[in-house]
Amino acid sequence: MGIFHDEGFHPNDPSQFHGLEGAAQEARIPNKKYLEEIKRGLELGLEAAPSIGDRTISTFARGELPHWAGINTFLKFPYLEDVNKVGDYECAVMGIPFDIGTTYRAGTRFGPQAVRRISALYTTYNYEMALDMRESLDVCDLGDVFTIANIEKSFDQIAKAVSFVKAKGVFPIMIGGDHSIGYPCVKGIAENVDGNVGIIHIDRHVDMQEKDMDERMHTTPWFHATNIPNAPAINLVQIGLGGWQCPRIGVKESLKRGSNILTIGDVEELGIEKVAEIALETAWKGAKAVYLSFDIDSVDCGFVPGTGWPEPGGFLPREVLKLLRLVSAPGLAGMEVVEVSPPYDCSDITALLALRAIVEVMGTLVVNNHIGHGRFGENEGKGSPGHSGKIA
C-alpha cells in the first residue's frame, strides 16, 4: 500500500515529506537583505515609470531581476574591486581563467565567464535546504586572477590570490580553468593551515604524474600538491577514477605515494553514502582542514559535453551532487571547480552543473554552520519576497 493510503498519513503534516517541511521552513527565513537590495535598486537605478504597478522595480536593473539583465557577477553578488576589503565578507568567489595546462581540448579559460553567466538563472534560495544565501552568507565576487601566458608564473599568481583570501579568514571558491590550478590552490590554502590538509578529489583522471610534455600540466596537480609538507598523499582521496584516460605513470605514482583511489566501480558497488564516509575518514585523519577539488569531467560526458577530456561512464549529476553535500558537511578549507570548457558546451549545461556544484557546497556549509550567520533570524520585512511590493 502506498504512503497516500496509509492510515497514519496526514497530508498537512510537514513531517511526512521533505517537501512540506521545506515549505513550512520558508516562513522562518529572513528577507532583510532582499528588502535592502530593492531599496538600493530604487535609489541607484531610479524609480520605475509611472505606468509600472510594482514599485519595487527600478528603471535600470540593479539586482537579481530580471534574470536576463544586469552585469553577471556570481549569483549577482557584489563585485569587490578592492580586494583589500575581502575580510569584510564570509565567502569570496574568484575566477581562474587559465588553460595553458591543457593537453587536449582547451577553452577552460572561459569557464569563469560561463559559470557567472549561467548563475543569473538561479536565485539565492534553495527549497530543500530552507536557505536563502543572500540572507545567510556575505559573499563577494573578486573577479579573476590575472593569469600570465606562462604556467609557473600563473601558479605564483594563483597561490598568492588564494593565500591572501584564506589569510583573511574568508572561505575561497575558485572557478577554473584547467586542473593544473589544483596545485597552486592547495599551496595557497596550506600556507594558512596550522597542520595537515586533506584533499578530496572528484575526477575521472588520476592527475598524479610529475610532468606532461615536460611541463606541470593539468595531469600533474596532485604530484606537486602532495609534495607540500602539510598536504601528504595519505590524506588525498581520489573518487570516480576509471576509463581509458588514466596515464600509467600517474597510477604508479599514486601507488608509490600511498594516495587513496575509489573508482567509479567502487562507487557503484559501495554507494554514495559509504564512499563519502570513506573519503571523509581518510581525508580528515590527522588533518586540520580538508580541501575539495571537483573536476566537472567526473560526470558522465552525456551530461557535461563542455569539458576538455570527456569520458563516458562517470557520475550522474544527482549522484555527484549528493556526494558533494556529504563530503562538505563536516566543513572545508576551500573548493575549486575545474575543466568547464564553454566552446564545447551545449546550452550551458556543463557550466550549469558546475554552478550547481558550487552553490550546493556553499549551502551545505551554511546549513552546517561552518560559514555564514545561520539560516533563520528576525524577519524584518513583510513575509516572503512575494509580498505586496511596497517598501517602507
**pLDDT classification of 9: cutoffs 50, 70, 90:** low
Phi and psi at residue 356, to the nearest 5°: -60, -40
Backbone angles phi, psi at 291, to 5 degrees: -110, 140
> Quick one: pLDDT band at residue 12, thresholds 50, 70, 90?
low
* Average pLDDT over the chain, rounded to an integer: 91
Q: Residue 208 has what pLDDT?
A: 86
The amino acid present at 133, given as its one-letter code, is M
DSSP alpha helices (H): ranges in the chain? 18-26, 32-45, 111-119, 133-136, 151-167, 182-190, 221-225, 248-257, 264-270, 272-284, 317-328, 349-367
Residue 241 confidence (pLDDT) above 80: yes
**All structural domains of the chain:** 29-67 (no CATH), 74-367 (3.40.800.10)
Q: Which of 139-153, 248-262, 315-329, 332-346 has the lowest mean pLDDT?
A: 248-262
Determine the average pLDDT of the residues in 330-348: 97
pLDDT at 127 over 60: yes
379: confidence class by pLDDT, cuts 50, 70, 90: very low
Q: Say what the pLDDT of residue 382 is.
A: 33
Give the tens place of pLDDT for each residue, 203-225: 998 888 888 787 787 878 899 99
The reported pLDDT for the residue numbered 219 is: 79
The helix or strand, by DSSP H or E, that contains position 12, with its residue range, turns out to be none
Q: Which residues, at least 6 apart from 150, have a Cβ–Cβ distance to it below 8 Å? A: 100
Question: What is the share, in percent, of the chain residues with pLDDT greater than 70?
Answer: 92
Average pLDDT on 351-358 reads 98
Of 22-36, 164-178, 320-334, the one with minimum mean pLDDT is: 22-36
The grid coordinates listed for 367 are 546549513
Q: How far is Cα 28 from Cα 4, in angstroms, rounded to an integer?
A: 28
Average pLDDT over residues 49-61: 96
Poorest-confidence range of 43-47, 203-207, 229-233, 346-350?
203-207
CA separation for the pair 301, 324 (Å, rounded)? 18
Query: At a CB cut-off of 8 Å and minimum separation 6, what does 355 contact?
Result: 115, 118, 119, 122
Nearest to 175 by CA among 255, 276, 72: 72
User: What are the pLDDT digits (tens) for 146-181?
Assistant: 999 999 999 999 999 999 999 999 999 999 999 999
At 8 the pLDDT is 64
**pLDDT, average across residues 353-378:** 93
Please say if the pLDDT value at position 61 is more than 80.
yes
Q: Summarize the confidence of residues 26-37 as an average pLDDT.
A: 93
Instruction: Record the pTM.
Output: 0.92
pLDDT at res. 316 = 98
Does position 3 have pLDDT exceeding 60, yes or no?
A: no
Whether residue 318 has pLDDT greater than 60: yes
Residue 4: band (very low, low, confident or very high) from pLDDT cuts 50, 70, 90: very low
Q: 292: helix, coil or strand?
A: strand
Residue 18 has pLDDT above 80, yes or no: no
Shortest CA distance to 206 belongs to which of 223, 226, 227? 223
Q: What is residue 212's predicted lDDT score, i.e. its pLDDT?
A: 77
